[in-house]
Amino acid sequence: MFFITGMSTFTWVLIAYIGLHLGQEHIAPIKEFLENTK
């Protein structure tokens, strides 16, 4: 449970960081990648 929660938190932080620094056009491929890895 801790591992899953930790990874989820890390994932959202990573998405937020990338979103702030690269822009929205880079979010879609990342979200698609995350969906494919579930």
Mind giving me the DSSP string for 6-31? HHHHHHHHHHHHHHHHH-GGGHHHHH
Q: Is the pLDDT of residue 36 over 80?
A: yes
What the block records as the tokens of 16 is: 């937020």
Q: What is the pLDDT of residues 11-33, one digit of tens each?
A: 888 878 877 777 667 677 878 88
> If we measure between CA atoms, which residue out of 6, 1, 3, 2 comes closest to residue 14?
6
Give Cα separations from 17 to 1, 11, 12, 28 (angstroms): 24, 10, 9, 14
Give the predicted TM-score (pTM) of the model: 0.39
